Structure 1
Amino acid sequence: MKKFTALEQGIDDWAHGFLDRAPANGGRARLAEFLVFGLKQGWACIFGAALLIVIVGARLWYPADAVLARNDFLTIAAIIIQVLMITTRLETARELRVIILFHLVGTVMELFKTDVGSWSYEADGVLRLGAVPLFSGFMYAAVGSYMVRVYRLFDLKFARYPRRWITAVVAAAIYTNFFTHHFIFDARWILLAAVLVIYGPCIMHFRVFRRHYRMPLILAFLLVAAFIWLAENIGTLSGAWLYPDQVDGWHPVSPDKLGSWFLLMITSVVLVAWVYKPLPPVAPAKAAKASDGVVRSP
């Protein structure tokens, strides 16, 4: 599997000029691992971070009397970000497929959720479908962008990953429940239990710089969901959208949304698995043999 785009490979080669001089053990080695972890995470978040910066900037500085509505400005800005991601080769055409799928899946949910009053957007602009401005789909695409990029930047491998057809069935049930719980029994607790049973034994293996690490996949889901919840707070504070209890005055998004984002992570992982098949970790003997050749850690 190709780990880097052409631009990323150039950045990686440049970074290794500094990182390769770092000691292999001791405090400086741990510091290097920590810094590389942060830089890779930031690089994986570049789409979402750019979009969030635009959302906050539009809230602070976009003129209220501008001819172009703020929501339309956000949609155009999101399109420009996506085009730049492709033209600068920060994303591959292969990854773009799953990002478009995230966009479509998210937009369908947005149309339904705004119709039933789960949240709302400002009623301005023409680049919209019903009550949903088109930039909203790019927020889901940003999650997809992060998922596919973090997969290859950290060379993710998975021990005891469940069968993909089982994960697809659970993901479909989760997505369906986001709609049906408004009318019939809310099965989220049953679905949460199913996720814990199915993904509980799975361990995620990842490489930062020189070292390999392990983490329960469930914990990784929770951490990503927490960061999305934090971004959601910034987005609502910026007025990009609001929940009903925030209309009369902003306050933090309910922690209950962490459960929703956790479940949505399962759907996200299944979509990414369509592009990158989850692979088991390399056996220690094979890893040692590879390290003796021309292969090096990213």
Structure 2
Amino acid sequence: MSDKSDVLYKVHDNVAEITINRPRYRNAQSRVLLERLDKCFQRASKDRDVRVIALFGAGEHFSSGHDLGTADEIRDRENRPPQEGVRGRFDHSYDNYVEKTLRWRNLPKPTIVGVQGYCIFGGWIIASAMDIIYAGESALFLGSNFQYFSIPWDVSVRRAKELLFEGRFINAEEACELGLVNKVLPDTDLRKGVLDYASRVVENDPFQLRMTKMAVNHVQDSQGFQAHIEASHVMHILSATGEQDPEFSLKTPERKRRPMVERAIENSKKGKSE
């Protein structure tokens, strides 16, 4: 196991098991966690004994998304303050959520993730970068116009618009129907299901697996995947900056609205009743 308690790492039977381990905070993604996760992915990609990488989230939830203010995150910001203004926001966002995620998508080995509970915003970002997604029956996915905007590629353009305009969760069954998820399992069987699949994949020639993955990724790349990710990141920054305009700031009393997650839960309930 790694000595970094918020990201666990071990190798067994040619499978690197990486676990996001902040269950107290529903595995919220601090900058430090993302850096350690990146190191674990790179470690696994360079280890010749590793043929498959399996990713998990400890506890009841895969990830509640970005860390918006735990004590650890605040302390890190104080010790390593990002540059202020749009320039700093862009660099921080690009480095942590675009550059890293593209690197994880293009790892030279197959990646599989097991998702249970909340998979919100940043959780969706990480999961979507993996090659295979297994979901527990409790899984709930929530997307937005986030930094690594893969949603139109994950579920189709028209369904992406439907989900994003309304803002609602999709459960594991719907995520599977949309093609975001490969397989749904009971939560109690999720880890075993991921590792059983990984055990079958490791029987293949590692070089053939690498070439197959590259060939499949190139389908999206030839259609402009990375160019879209880069361009939509700029739109994300512009959107976030626009929310600070005096006439439209959400901080003004007349424009306050309920948190997006709260609205998403209610919208999901309304959708079921229609």
Q: Same fold (TM over 0.5)?
A: no
| Bigger CA radius of gyration | 1
More helix by percentage = 1
More strand by percentage = 2
The TM-score with structure 2 as length reference comes to: 0.27
